[in-house]
């Protein structure tokens, strides 16, 4: 019996990995990221494919509506399982709901509708909180002291794991949801007997949307209080503390390592030396010359004129610039330019550092190798399309990534005994 898909291009249907799920690169990459979470229960393939069936490429309103609807369906299932006392099923559905609502949060940025964004964010966080609560003793909601406030996070620990254990700190990127950290390293850490801490730092989701706290380049000011918090716990082994930076976290982590020396090992996924290059790639060279010359007035005038003709560029700039807290185009790019790892700072990194290097890196191509050249004790690990592991943060090969990262961590920490599920 042959299955024929209505309306499908049967000749190329099997080439979706190389040809893409969407012609729109943003939509395509999002689908890859969501599917990458299926290995750790953060999404269901059927739910993902049913969702994208209803959202045409480039239609941001239908994209937002589709992911919001899928988030609500998973949320209703989670609530029903909770009411029936089935905590494992409830936790899984809440986690999937959080994933789908996190896509809706990003999608809302294209609608120029702050109310839609904040509504989707509240639904996302509520589902994430449901996952944490349904996970029972595995998960503990924490507040990490930071300056005059606190950074919200979750401390996960393996089942039946008394005593101090190696602990992995996950550092997110510029716009990722806290729930994404589950499939990007936290779940893999728990499987292998590690504790795992996920949190929102300055400029990241809850810190930005709820507290109005923006980014900062000197991430040592963030990770030092995180380490202080962890070392006050009796279930954390102070000699086996690791940190894993995802996406723009691949800049923040190396920056912090130059000053915060209490991590025994670190991962940059991928390596980022200069954040601004991903911005500059979309600005005409004629305008960049005005920026470099300090011609604020001309740069702002020409940028504003150009934005009138590109809705996508305007909404992307608006969303990406918000955490940097600047008003003008010139001041925003000047602030972003501060997020660069100087040779003198990189020379101070003494922590063993694994750097992922995915083929077809879209945002910071070549910077993983550049960071490996700058850092002292660095291991560069390639990921390729032939093994299904290309693109930024190798989104569809997170199990493979975990195997390589935790294998390397074992060479730093020694073997870690994973607790049995039966206690």
Instruction: Parse the chain into domains and list their residue ranges.
Output: 20-134, 138-275+339-423, 277-336
Pairing relation of β-strands 195-199 and 149-156?
antiparallel
Which sign does the torsion angle of CA 111, 114, 115, 121 carry? positive
Cα–Cα nearest to 70, from 115, 102, 32, 37? 102
The third-level CATH classification (topology) of the domain covering 20-134 is de novo design (two linked rop proteins) (1.20.1440)
pLDDT of residue 2: 40
The residue count for the chain: 423
Cα separation values, 48 from 30, 123, 160, Å: 11, 18, 34
Cα separation values, 42 from 72, 135, 181, 255, Å: 15, 14, 10, 30
**Which three-class secondary structure string do you get for the chain?**
CCCCCCCCCCCCHHHHHHHCCCCCHHHHHHHHHHHHHHHHCCCCHHHHHHHHCCCCCCCHHHHHHHHHHHHHHHHHHHHHHHHCCCHHHHHHHHHHHHHHHHHHHHHHHHHCCHHHHHHHHHHHHHHHHHHHHHCHHHEEEEEEEECCEEEEEEEECCCCCCCCEEEEEEECCCCCCCCHHHHHHHHHHHHCCCEEEEECCCCCCHHHHCCCCCCCCCCHHHHHHHHHHHHCCCCEEEEEEEEEEECCHHHHHHHHHCCCCCCCEEEEECCCCECCHHHHCCCCHHHHHHHHCCCHHHHHHHHHHHHCCCHHHHHHHHHHHHHHCCCCHHHHHHHHCCCECCHHHHCCCCCCEEEEEECCCCCCCCHHHHHHHHCCCEEEEEECHHHCCCCCCCCCCHHHHHHHHHHHHHHHHCCCCCCCCCC
Q: What is the rounded radius of gyration, in angstroms, for the C-alpha atoms of the chain? A: 21
Cα separation values, 141 from 153, 189, 402, Å: 6, 18, 24
Distance CA 288, CA 277 (A): 11
Distance CA 183, CA 96 (A): 11
How many CB atoms are located within 10 Å of the residue 18 CB? 9
| pLDDT mean for each 10 residues of the chain (423 residues) | 45 81 94 97 98 94 96 98 97 98 91 86 97 94 97 91 89 95 97 96 96 96 98 96 98 98 98 97 93 96 89 84 94 97 96 98 97 95 98 97 97 79 48
- Give me 157's structure tokens: 């620990």
pLDDT of residue 7: 47
Distance CA 140, CA 150 (A): 15
pLDDT of residue 420: 62
pLDDT of residue 276: 97
pLDDT of residue 38: 97
pLDDT of residue 1: 38
411 burial level (CB within 10 Å; 0-12, 13-18, 19+): exposed
Q: Are 21 and 32 in contact (CB under 8 A)?
A: yes
Cα–Cα nearest to 137, from 154, 165, 156? 156
Cα–Cα nearest to 75, from 179, 155, 158? 179
Cα separation values, 242 from 92, 193, 328, 404, Å: 27, 13, 38, 15
pLDDT of residue 160: 65
Domain 138-275+339-423 architecture: 3-Layer(aba) Sandwich (3.40)
């Amino acid at each position: 019996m042959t299955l024929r898909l209505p309306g499908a291009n049967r000749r190329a249907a099997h080439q979706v990995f190389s040809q893409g799920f969407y012609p729109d690169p943003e939509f395509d990459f999002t689908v890859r990221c969501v599917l990458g979470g299926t290995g750790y229960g953060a999404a269901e393939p059927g739910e993902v494919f049913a969702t994208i069936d209803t959202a045409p490429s480039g239609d941001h309103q239908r994209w937002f509506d589709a992911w919001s609807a899928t988030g609500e369906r998973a949320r209703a299932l989670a609530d029903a399982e909770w009411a029936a006392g089935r905590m494992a099923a409830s936790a899984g559905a809440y986690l999937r709901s959080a994933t789908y609502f996190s896509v809706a949060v990003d999608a809302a940025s294209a609608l120029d509708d702050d109310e839609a964004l904040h509504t989707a964010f509240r639904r996302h966080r509520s589902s994430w909180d449901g996952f944490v609560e349904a996970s029972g003793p595995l998960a503990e909601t924490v507040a990490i002291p930071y300056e005059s406030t606190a950074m919200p996070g979750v401390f996960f620990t393996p089942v039946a794991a008394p005593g101090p254990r190696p602990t992995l700190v996950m550092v997110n990127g510029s716009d990722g949801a806290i729930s994404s950290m589950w499939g990007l390293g936290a779940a893999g850490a728990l499987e292998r007997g590690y504790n795992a801490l996920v949190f929102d730092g300055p400029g990241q989701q809850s810190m930005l949307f709820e507290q109005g706290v923006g980014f900062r380049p000197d991430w040592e000011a963030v990770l030092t209080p995180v380490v202080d918090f962890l070392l006050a716990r009796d279930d954390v082994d102070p000699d086996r503390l690791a940190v894993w930076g995802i996406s723009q976290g691949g800049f923040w982590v190396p920056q912090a390592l130059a000053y915060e020396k209490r991590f025994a090992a670190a991962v940059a996924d991928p390596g980022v030396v200069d954040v601004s290059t991903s911005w500059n790639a979309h600005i005409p060279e004629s305008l960049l010359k005005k920026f470099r010359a300090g011609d604020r007035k001309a740069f702002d005038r020409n940028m504003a004129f150009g934005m009138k003709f590109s809705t996508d560029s305007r909404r992307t700039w608006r969303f990406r610039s918000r955490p940097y807290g600047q008003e003008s185009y010139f001041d925003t790019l000047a602030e972003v330019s501060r997020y660069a790892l100087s040779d003198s700072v990189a020379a101070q990194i003494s922590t063993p550092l694994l750097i992922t290097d995915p083929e077809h890196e879209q945002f910071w191509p070549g910077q993983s190798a550049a960071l490996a050249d700058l850092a002292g004790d660095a291991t560069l690990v390639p990921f390729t399309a032939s093994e299904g592991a290309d693109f930024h943060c190798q989104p569809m090969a997170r199990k493979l990534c975990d195997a390589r990262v935790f294998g390397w961590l074992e060479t730093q920490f020694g073997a870690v005994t994973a607790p049995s599920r039966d206690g």
